[in-house]
């Protein structure tokens, strides 16, 4: 569809942000459709059949390193450069380790059960630090009750009226 110059300008203005609010949904839809049509008509495409993507199992590689497992390039012999000799051991064993892929866990110094037990009591111990004084006293009294039930409670110190 071709428009006259004036209507073309007006129609173009409708695309601006400030005009979008005033438009109702129908006009918006119309605008979108027209835009899509324009794009699809101007869109160039090759009239060829789709090539199936195949053979993703071959990787092209221009370097010799992964093919031949070459060693590390810096070498030192008979202790001429001790740092390089240490590096040689490290680098050459690293390339071998990648192949073997050792994935056993490191032996833990403390077993998981011990950790759980320790944390159980730890939370309580640290938590006590942050209690208010009154609560601390209550806790202490509770502990005492548990340990020695028979001990009578000390009478609370109250005001004693002086006897004449």
Partner 1 sequence: AAGSGKMAAEAAVGQVVLPGDVLLLPARPDHDAERLPLGPEAAPRGRLLCGPGLRRCAAGLLVTKCGLLRHRQPGGGGGAAAGGAYWVDSQQKRYVPVKGDQVIGIVTARAGDVFRLDVGGSEQASLSYLAFEGATKRNRPNVQVGDLVYGQFLVANKDMEPEMVCMDSSGKASGMGVIGQDGFLFKVSLGLIRKLLAPKCEIIQELSQLYPFELVLGMNGRIWVKAKTVQQTLIIVNILEACEYMTSEQRKQALAKLSGN
Q: Which residues bind partner 1 (CB under 8 A)?
A: 54-81, 84, 87, 91, 98-99, 101
Minimum CB separation of residue 57 from partner 1 in Å reads 5
CA–CA gap between residue 99 and residue 93 (Å, rounded): 10
Instruction: Return the number of the residue (59 or 108) whose C-beta is nearest partner 1.
Output: 59
Minimum CB separation of residue 8 from partner 1 in Å reads 44
Instruction: Return the number of the residue (99 or 113) whose C-beta is nearest partner 1.
Output: 99
Minimum CB separation of residue 49 from partner 1 in Å reads 16
CB 69 within 8 Å of CB 60: no
CA–CA gap between residue 135 and residue 133 (Å, rounded): 5
Instruction: Return the number of the residue (18 or 77) whose C-beta is nearest partner 1.
Output: 77
CA–CA gap between residue 156 and residue 158 (Å, rounded): 6
Burial (Cβ within 10 Å: 0-12, 13-18, ≥19) of residue 64: exposed
Minimum CB separation of residue 106 from partner 1 in Å reads 20
Instruction: Return the number of the residue (55 or 104) whose C-beta is nearest partner 1.
Output: 55
CA–CA gap between residue 30 and residue 43 (Å, rounded): 20
């Amino acid at each position: 569809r071709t428009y006259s110059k004036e209507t073309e300008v007006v129609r173009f203005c409708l695309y601006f942000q400030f005009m979008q609010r005033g438009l109702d949904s129908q006009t918006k839809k119309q605008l979108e459709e027209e835009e899509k049509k324009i794009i699809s008509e101007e869109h160039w495409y090759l009239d060829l059949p789709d090539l199936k993507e195949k053979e993703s199992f071959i990787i092209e590689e221009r370097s010799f390193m992964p093919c031949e497992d070459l060693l590390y390039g810096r070498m030192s012999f008979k202790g001429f450069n001790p740092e390089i000799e240490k590096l040689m051991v490290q680098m050459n064993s690293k390339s071998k380790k990648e192949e073997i892929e050792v994935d056993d866990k490191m032996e833990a110094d403390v077993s998981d059960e011990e950790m759980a037990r320790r944390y159980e009591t730890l939370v309580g111990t640290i938590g006590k630090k942050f209690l208010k004084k009154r609560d601390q006293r209550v806790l202490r009294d509770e502990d005492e009750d548990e340990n020695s039930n028979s001990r009578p409670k000390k009478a609370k110190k109250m005001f004693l009226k002086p006897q004449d």
